[in-house]
Amino acid sequence: MDALVSLDYKFVRNIEPTAPFNFDATFHKPDHFPSGDNAWQPGCRWQSMLWQDQPLGLLFEDRGSVNSPLVQLSIFAQNELAASFLEGVVEEVNYRYNLQMDLSEFNHLFSGDPQLGSVIHKWLGMRPMHYGSLYEYLNVAIVLQNATVRRSVNMLQALFEHYGRRLAFDDKALYCYWQPQAIYATSEQDLRNLKVGYRAKSIKRVSDAFAQNEMNEFSLREKSVDEQRRALLNLYGVGPASVGYLLFDVFHRWDYLSYISPWEQTIYSRLFFNTQIDDPVATATLIEYFTQHYRGYRMLAVHYFWEDLFWKRKNEKIEWLEELIRL
C-alpha cells in the first residue's frame, strides 16, 4: 500500500486571516507528537489532506505580519481541480486552522490577567488548530491512549504505512490518511498485526461507524455541545479524555473543560499552584480555578498556557517537565 503518489498540479490561493495573527504558533504546535503527514519550519507548513477522495498536498507560507496577515496556500493535486473544489478546500482550511477566528473578546477579557496577559501578549494572534478531519483525529486520540509518546508515534506510522499513501509534492514525501472504508474492509486481526494492541477494536469500530455513515462530521458541527459530546462518547473507544480534546480541537468549543488527566493535573498544579510534582491539587480544584478566572474561554486559556510551556521546552530544558514527558 505504500505507493508514492506524485502531485504534479499546483494551485495557489491567498488567504487573509483575521488580525492579529501569529503564523508559526498557529501552524506549529510543539506539544503535538511528530506525525508523518506534516512538516514545519518557520514560515512554512507542509500538510497532506484527503478531501473528497482527492489526495492533496498543502503548503502554507507566511507572507504577512501579525497586524497585516497573509497566508499563501499552495494546493498540490494529481490532476486539474475545479475552482469550486479549490474554494471548498480553502473554506475547510479556514475552519480547521481557525484562520477567520475572532480573538478580540478573548484578548480584551484577559490581556490584563496577571498570568494569562503576558502569554497572550507573547503569542498574540495564535489560533488553536487541528489539521485533520474528525475521523483522522479519532485515530490519533485512540493511539494516544495508555501508551508512551514513542509508542503512539509508532502505531500511527504503522497505520500510515499499511492503509495510507505517501504523497510527493514540493520536494516532500508525506503520508496521507486513508478512508474509513479501508479499515471497514479489513479485520481487527490485521490491525492487531500492526501492534496497536487492544486499540484495534476501537479503530475498527470507529472506522465502521464512519464507513457506514453513522457519523457525519459536517452535520455534527451544527449541533449543540451536548449533542456533539453524546455522539462522540457513543463511539467505542472514546471516553472523557478524548472527548475533551475532540470538542476543543475539532469542534472549536473554547470553553469545554470537564476532565483533566493525571499528567495534565500535575502540570497545571505546578503552573497555577506551584505544587511539587508528587503532590498535585485535586482536578476539581483546578477546574474551579479555571472557571473563576477564564469563564467562557477556559480551554482556550489552557491552550495558551500549554503552548507557551511547550515552546519554552523546545528552546530550553525545563527539568520538571522532562520528568513528566516519558518518551
Partner DNA sequence: CATCAGGGCCCTG
Partner DNA sequence: CAGGGCCCTGAT
Binding positions for DNA, rule: CB under 7 A: 31, 33, 141, 144-151, 154, 192, 195-199, 201, 233, 235-243, 261-263, 324-327
Nearer to DNA, 117 or 239 (CB): 239
CB of 222 to DNA, least distance (A): 24
As measured in angstroms, the least distance from the Cβ of 249 to DNA is 10
CB 142, min distance to DNA, A: 8
- Beta strands 38-41 and 71-77 are unpaired
DSSP string across 108-141: HHHTT-TTHHHHHHHTTT------S-HHHHHHHH
DSSP per position, 173-210:
EEEEPPPHHHHHTS-HHHHHTTT-TTHHHHHHHHHHHH
User: Nearer Cβ to DNA, position 81 or 324?
Assistant: 324
CA neighbor of 299 nearest in space, from 254, 263, 261: 254
Closest distance of CB 41 from DNA, Å: 20
Of residues 196 and 231, the one with the C-beta less far from DNA = 196
| Full strand arrangement of the beta sheet holding 71-77 | 9-15, 71-77, 54-62, 44-51, 38-41
In whole angstroms, the minimum distance from the beta carbon of 198 to DNA comes to 3
First to last CA, the chain: 29
Contacts of 26-29 spanning 24+ positions with Cβ under 8 A: 26/97, 26/98, 26/99, 26/125, 26/126, 26/127, 26/129, 27/60, 27/97, 27/129, 29/129, 29/307, 29/310
In angstroms, the CA 42 to CA 60 distance is: 11
CB of 312 to DNA, least distance (A): 15
Q: Are 195 and 158 in contact (CB under 8 A)?
A: yes
C-beta of 138 vs 167, nearer to DNA:
138
Q: Least distance from C-beta 212 to DNA, angstroms?
A: 18
